[in-house]
Structure 1
Amino acid sequence: MNLTIKCLGFAAAMGLAASPALAQEKLKIGLVLTLSGPSAVLGQQARDGFQLAVKDFGGKLGGRDVDVIVVDDELKPDVAVTKVKGLIERDKVDFVVGPIFSNVAVAIQKPIVDAKTFYISTNAGPSNLAGKSCSPYFFATSYQNDQNHEVLGKVAQDRGYKKVYLLAPNYQAGKDALAGFKRHYKGEIVEESYVPLNTLDFQSELAKIASMKPDAIFTFMPGGMGVNLVKQYRAAGLADRIPFLSAFTVDESTLPAQQDAAIGMFGGSNWAPNLDLPQNKAFVKEYEAAYNAVPGSYAMHAYDAALLIDSALKATGGKTEDKDALRAALKKADFKSLRGDFKFGNNGFPIQDFYLVKIAKRSDGKFQTEIEEKVFDDYTDAYAKECTATN
């Protein structure tokens, strides 16, 4: 997909216009995202956010024309590996950007870093990639998986909830989610329930919750899973009795389907559309105008990934051959993140702020997360100390 476009839009308005075009081959970026199935909306937001940034730079990053090759990993690690190998061996991409899900992120790491290609995650942040399996070729513009969930663990602890029910899908990110929650919550876990990935019927879990009567539930249930869980939770009459704490379960990717069923529910995030920063306000306005949807963190992280690549290439004069120089430029993160505070830790993951957010209905009838309070300031993930292959 060739995104060479002449207008500069938001990037020009924010003083982000690319440097003069260089007489070089097109920069090739492989965008690996889940674009089919119940969780496709997550990948669509990331794709749209990245492509919007490239459009804003006039189809260039760091002064080079960009060819963005979008592939659907189908939420299947083996499919993702095959497609990533094609991006590297056939298409000769300079960067692989994505994916959404952590089981895919772990599977594709080896072929990417073995080829000494830079790998930028715009969502998935599994604990092993942040710790013992970190790589100098890996950077994330999102977070380590545990961190958003840690927000809710601290909130539950601070609010004095004595008993909490935990619910997550049975894969790496689900395990990281519950581990993150428990890092700060010291009360009683009445149940720790894992369901198969892409579960859509939660009646048995809701019956348990109703009978156990916890002070709150905490869940990580992204995409279509979250849509169904929230609707079924509200329909079962639990939303008014048992506080619903989550991350990635009620956000801008799921709210168009959940709507009123999600109002008042809480999430943990490093960002929200109403974050009061000029660059964020401009991004949200432009994204809504382009796609008629409220952007979520998936779109924001992808937009930031394009800003990161642009900033690094400006520093290297558009060159990608010197891997050490490109790595140093990426590590510097010399761009204005849409979320504000942003710098990389030794493991390639951001050091950033985190918030408790709450679901609200806007005056225009659309739904969004809104910042309730800051919970962590300049927060480093718990696994960075295990990383020895530093960036």
Structure 2
Amino acid sequence: MKSSLRRTVPALVALAACAAATQVHAQTTPVKIGFLGELSGPQAAVGQDQYDGFMLVVERNGGKLGGVPVQVIKEDSQLKPEVANLAVRKLVEKDNVQFITGVSFSNIMLAVHKYVTDKKVFLIGSNAGPSQIAGAQCSAYQFITSWQGDQAAEAVGKYAADKGYKRVVVMAPNYQAGKDIITGFKRQYKGSLAGEMYTPLNQLDFSAELTQVSADKPDAVFAFYPGGLGITFARQYQQAGLSKSTPLLSAFIADATTLPALRDAALGMISGGFWAPDFSNAASKQFVADFERKYKRTPSNYAAQSYDAALLLDSALAKVKGNVADKPAVMAALKAGEFSSVRGSFKFNNNNFPIQDMHVMQVVKDDGGQFALKTIATPLKGLVDAYHDKCPLK
């Protein structure tokens, strides 16, 4: 009996030491996170704001999320699906990331979504929200902290209907997000369309289209042109004299990344979204203050939704104590969405897209003479996206 005990005690001590060493290793080995975004070209401000919003949380936490060290590996999609595909394969197969976040444009999301989620890598999308992945192509490994692509436009469509506009021209780039956003506007707008125009994603001269708008004499124009495209479009809209006669309703033209360049060209413009820098809840106020202190500029919605992505990961990693190998536990922790969002309350629907209020903002000059977004209405509260019932997730 004593001999047996003598053999057992050292074995137990060895097992305990091994477990302790494993725990220490788990706590000191960084969790790897891939960031994929549009970081070059005319749309670079979108991806940069996403990256800066995410890193604000990481750096504020001393390089940790959920109390565990993280390593963020950044890749530029260049707005090219083939480049994005190579980048995610590198992140997954060479860098062995456990999470991918960012993803700025819908054509990029559609290019990488199936590969990433089939590999059971968690995709924490912080901008693109195409209808396909909200519906039939949804995945239990996707968690979107921004919006489904129709939603901001739905709020503007409801605003246009409430204003009594009878004839509206709609305009957008000819790619998935453009089609989703026009669909969203039409879902809530009950008047007639004076015109529906889709332009190439890289088009920078809108003179022909704006000449047609002038001829159509609509009550208003609704347009979606993100990043640098929006700056070019809004300036040409003003130069054509349309800003004096025809209200410009928009989604993702006027935001903190574009207002410093747009200035008077954006004054009075209407915009839809889930958040604006004038929100008064505590999480939003802290985010805006911290972002402005660190980056010396006002954050955009792109930064806000990416900041929320970092907070979501922070809460999930804390729940699982950094054990990312337990994928069901990580999935459950992400699904719970227990963090203080800049938008206020946060809840995922069955398709892992947020259920959220959608607001309308107007570009104004603030007390300091700066151009800013002022929240003027909340046309849609607790909005559920139009595609969730096509998603097989419960």
Q: Same fold (TM over 0.5)?
A: yes
Question: Which residue matches 2:11?
Answer: none
Q: Which of 197, 206, 209 is the matching residue for 1:205?
A: 209
Pairwise mapping of residues 245-324 of structure 1 onto structure 2 (< 5 A)? 245-324=249-328
Cα deviation per residue 1:359-382 (whole Å; 9 max; x = unaligned)?
122233432211001111111101
Q: What secondary structure sits across from 1:343 in the alignment?
A: coil
Q: What secondary structure sits across from 2:243 in the alignment?
A: coil
Give 1:122 deviation, angstroms: 0.3
Task: Find out whether 1:227 has 2:198 as its counterpart.
Answer: no
Cα deviation per residue 1:261-294 (whole Å; 9 max; x = unaligned)?
1011000010000001122111111111211211
What residue identity is the alignment partner of 1:258?
L
Give 1:56 deviation, angstroms: 1.3
Label 1:340 to 1:21 Cα distance change in 2 as closer, same or farther (>3 A). farther
Question: Which residue matches 2:343?
Answer: 339
Q: Which of 344, 357, 364 is the matching residue for 2:368?
A: 364
Cα deviation per residue 1:57-88 (whole Å; 9 max; x = unaligned)?
11101111111001100000110011000000
Q: Normalising by the residue count of structure 1, what TM-score does the alignment of the two structures yield?
A: 0.93
Task: Find out whether 1:188 has 2:192 as its counterpart.
Answer: yes
Question: Which residue matches 2:70?
Answer: 66
Question: Which residue matches 1:46?
Answer: 50
What residue identity is the alignment partner of 1:197?
L
Give 1:199 deviation, angstroms: 1.5
Pairwise mapping of residues 74-223 of structure 1 onto structure 2 (< 5 A)? 74-223=78-227
Give 1:133 deviation, angstroms: 0.3
Give 1:21 deviation, angstroms: 11
Task: Find out whether 1:56 has 2:60 as its counterpart.
Answer: yes
Q: What secondary structure sits across from 1:371 in the alignment?
A: strand
Partners of 1:295 and 1:204 in 2: how far apart?
34
Give 1:300 deviation, angstroms: 0.4
Partners of 2:26 and 2:278 in 1: how far apart?
37
Partners of 2:25 and 2:376 in 1: how far apart?
43
Partners of 1:23 and 1:245 in 2: how far apart?
49
Larger radius of gyration: 2
Partners of 1:280 and 1:290 in 2: how far apart?
15
1:98–1:121 Cα contact (<8 Å) kept: yes
1:27–1:65 Cα contact (<8 Å) kept: yes
| Deviation >4 Å, runs of 4+ | none
Partners of 1:256 and 1:31 in 2: how far apart?
26
Partners of 1:43 and 1:202 in 2: how far apart?
24
2:101–2:125 Cα contact (<8 Å) kept: yes
Give 1:384 deviation, angstroms: 0.5
Task: Find out whether 1:240 has 2:277 as its counterpart.
Answer: no
Partners of 1:158 and 1:265 in 2: how far apart?
17
Q: What secondary structure sits across from 1:181 in the alignment?
A: helix
Q: What secondary structure sits across from 1:85 in the alignment?
A: helix
Q: Normalising by the residue count of structure 2, what TM-score does the alignment of the two structures yield?
A: 0.92
Task: Find out whether 1:326 has 2:330 as its counterpart.
Answer: yes
1:198–1:224 Cα contact (<8 Å) kept: no
2:276–2:300 Cα contact (<8 Å) kept: yes
Question: Which residue matches 1:353?
Answer: 357
What residue identity is the alignment partner of 2:215?
S
Q: What secondary structure sits across from 2:255 in the alignment?
A: coil
What residue identity is the alignment partner of 2:266?
A
Give 1:22 deviation, angstroms: 6.0
| Aligned pairs, number | 371
1:77–1:107 Cα contact (<8 Å) kept: yes
Q: What secondary structure sits across from 2:27 in the alignment?
A: coil
What residue identity is the alignment partner of 2:31?
L
Q: What secondary structure sits across from 1:23 in the alignment?
A: helix
Q: Percent identity?
A: 48
Greater share of residues in helix: 2
Query: Does 375-384 or 84-93 show the bigger shift?
Result: 375-384
Q: What secondary structure sits across from 1:231 in the alignment?
A: helix
What residue identity is the alignment partner of 1:138?
Q
> Cα RMSD over matched residues?
1.3
Give 1:389 deviation, angstroms: 3.2
Structure 2 gaps of 5+ residues are 1-23
What residue identity is the alignment partner of 1:125?
G
Structure 1 gaps of 5+ residues are 1-19
